Amino acid sequence: MTSPQRIGVYPGSFDPITSGHTDIIVRGTRQLDRLVVAVALHTGKDPLFSHEERIAMVQAEVAALKGDLAAAVEVVGFDTLLIDLVRAQQARCILRGLRAVSDFEFEFQMAAMNARLAPEVETVFLMASERQQFISARFVKEIARLGGDVSSFVSPRVLARLRARFAR
Ligand code: ADP
């Protein structure tokens, strides 16, 4: 008898995808049979990159993953309730990354709300890696906007997109 596939959904705005996000994708994939990276249309704020651009950037990072990791990852866009996507993907967990204590309250609330909406779905947290824990897409955008060097926070592909966006 084969056991059911362990499928997880990693949602976020990925505006843009940073090496912190990619680290969670790589580590999440090791724990799952299939990981669906879900790029939200609605970010709660004005995104720098369009939904299509954010999806394309995540796809490019996944395609560049080493070994056979990419085969276990699928990238989708969504504009629905997260739980509806999780169910449609037949996933059993939502994957999130936790950086500082400041992430905790929001993540705790979201996990609790989603647990009410879908008790069968577990939210699973991975602690940010030591080297990535201070990286946030918000600061990456702010530094890039002001002409600072963000090359150690994002891939060369994302760096090129940021440079093009902020070119004078
Ligand atoms: P949101 O827009 O919901 O804040 P993001 O798109 O920025 O989410 O990120 C999606 C998920 O990735 C969140 O769980 C966030 O905590 C996590 N994350 C973002 N940056 C990092 C990082 N440097 N290390 C680990 N997890 C991260």
Range of the domain at 100: 7-163
Between the CA of 12 and the centroid of ligand 1 the distance, in Å, is: 7
CATH of the domain at 99: 3.40.50.620
The two structure tokens encoding residue 5: 């596939």
**Whole-number Å distance between alpha carbons of 46 and 140:** 15
In a domain, 142, yes or no: yes
In a domain, 121, yes or no: yes
The whole-chain average pLDDT of the chain stands at: 95
**Is the minimum distance from the CB of 20 to ligand 1 under 6 angstroms?**
yes
Q: Where are the alpha helices (DSSP H) in the chain?
A: 19-31, 51-63, 82-88, 101-117, 137-145, 156-166
CB half-sphere exposure, 45, CA atoms < 13 A: 8
**Whole-number Å distance between alpha carbons of 39 and 50:** 11
In a domain, 123, yes or no: yes
pLDDT digits (tens, 9 = 90+) for 100-122: 888 899 999 999 999 999 999 99
**Whole-number Å distance between alpha carbons of 132 and 20:** 5
User: Among the atoms of ligand 1, which is closest to the Cα of residue 44?
Assistant: 2
The answer on pLDDT for 3 being more than 90 is no
More confident residue, 44 or 165: 165
**Whole-number Å distance between alpha carbons of 137 and 115:** 27
pLDDT for position 80: 96
In a domain, 127, yes or no: yes
| Total tally of structural domains belonging to the chain | 1
Smallest CA separation from ligand 1 atom 15, residue: 97
Smallest CA separation from ligand 1 atom 16, residue: 97
Neighbours of 44 (CB within 10 A): 7
The pLDDT of 96-100, averaged and rounded, is 92
pLDDT digits (tens, 9 = 90+) for 39-69: 999 888 899 999 999 999 999 999 999 988 9
**Is the minimum distance from the CB of 141 to ligand 1 under 6 angstroms?**
no
In a domain, 143, yes or no: yes
* pTM, 2 dp: 0.95
Non-local (6+) Cβ contacts of 79 within 8 A are: 40, 41, 42
In a domain, 26, yes or no: yes
In a domain, 46, yes or no: yes
The answer on pLDDT for 1 being more than 90 is no
In a domain, 1, yes or no: no
User: Among the atoms of ligand 1, which is closest to the Cα of residue 107?
Assistant: 14
Closest by CA to 55, choosing from 69, 34, 40, is: 40
